[in-house]
Amino acid sequence: MHTILDVKEIASFIARLNNEEEHSVGYCGTNEEEIIDTLTNEMDIEKYFVTIYENEELIGVLGLDVDEEAKEAEIWGPFVKEDKWQEVAIMMWQELLVKIPIDLSTFYGFYHKQNNRATEFMTSLEFTRGGEHSILEVHKDEFVQGTYSHIVEELNGYTADFIALHDRCFPSTYYDGKEITERVNENQNVFLYVENDVVQGYVYVEADPEFNEGSIEFIGVHPDSQGKGIGLQLTKRAIDYLFSFNGMESVRLCVSRENETAIRLYERAGFKEKKQLISFSKET
């Protein structure tokens, strides 16, 4: 194991392997520069990453994206070259558990359905297999704009109504309604569907122009207003917003395969399935 970690070398290794289905980890990207940015600015690799070398060649990387307050971690890896995959993965896992400076309560894994070795790795560590998810993608040159009647592009006097609707639709999630209102800026926006001065639906969307990426984080429609095409209008407006950024050529999102209603909505908006992922978790 190396104690001094080379961010660029790690990022290059992850990007190369994560482009292959049989190595793909759902939490990580495939763009080397984006991975460097994440490792440098959002994670502490000296605390939460281990590497392994053979004859001075990097052959394995394993790390954690840790929420120290919640004591939870998403697993980045194991990324291992073909030979001795399980042996190297287990060795890194054991080293990582010794290295991390705090007690974690929950670990999460997220792997491509074709990443069979990662599934075996999770099973060997007695992780619980969770649900399956689809990564959906729409390309700018294939997107057909919609008509956006009743769409309001600023919260203005509807802030309290938006917060109430979001917290009703998603009562326990990573951003509550108030937190979303505090995140709104030139790259992160909320669009509302308002009719008769009543907020009937909303979408919250985030753009990352530096890496030409965007995501639809939340979309919700009041139960009394469902089935009227509101969700489709909001989805298309969100996509239109993301494609307004120079260089933004595609938009991706992740949705549970059990949520057939949402998948049908996104497909109607122009999304197509790109890959399937499996989630895992383990409480300590």
Split at pLDDT 50, 70, 90, the class of 280 is very high
Asked whether the predicted pLDDT for residue 217 surpasses 70, the reply is yes
- The rounded mean pLDDT for the chain is 94
Residues of the chain with pLDDT > 70, as a percent, come to 99
Q: Where are the domains of the chain?
A: 7-126, 137-276
**Separation between Cα atoms, residue 50 and residue 36, nearest integer Å:** 16
Q: What pLDDT, on the 0 to 100 scale, is given for residue 3?
A: 47
Contacts of 98 by beta carbon, 8 Å cutoff, 6+ apart: none
Distance of CA 255 to the CA centre of its chain: 10
Beta bridge partners of 207: 214
Residue predicted with more confidence, 84 or 277: 277
Domain 7-126 annotated CATH 3.40.630.30? yes
DSSP H or E segment with residue 214: strand 213-221
How large is the greatest C-alpha to C-alpha distance in the chain, in angstroms? Answer: 70
The structure tokens listed for 135 are: 């990564």
Tell me: pLDDT of 72 over 60: yes
Segment 17-65, tens digit of pLDDT? 999 999 999 999 999 999 999 999 999 999 999 999 999 999 999 999 9
239 with 140: CB under 8 angstroms? no
For the domain made up of 137-276, give the CATH fold. Aminopeptidase (3.40.630)
For residues 104 and 88, the answer to whether their CB atoms sit within 8 Å is no
CB 73 within 8 A of CB 80: no
What are φ and ψ of residue 169, in 5° steps?
-70, -35
The predicted structure's pLDDT at residue 4: 52
**What mean pLDDT comes out for the span 232-261?**
93
pTM for this one? 0.81
Closest C-alpha to 262, from 251, 253, 275: 253
Burial environment of residue 135 by CB neighbours within 10 A (0 to 12, 13 to 18, 19 or more): middle
Convert the pLDDT of each residue in 129-184 to its tens digit: 999 999 999 999 999 988 898 999 989 899 999 999 999 999 988 899 999 999 99
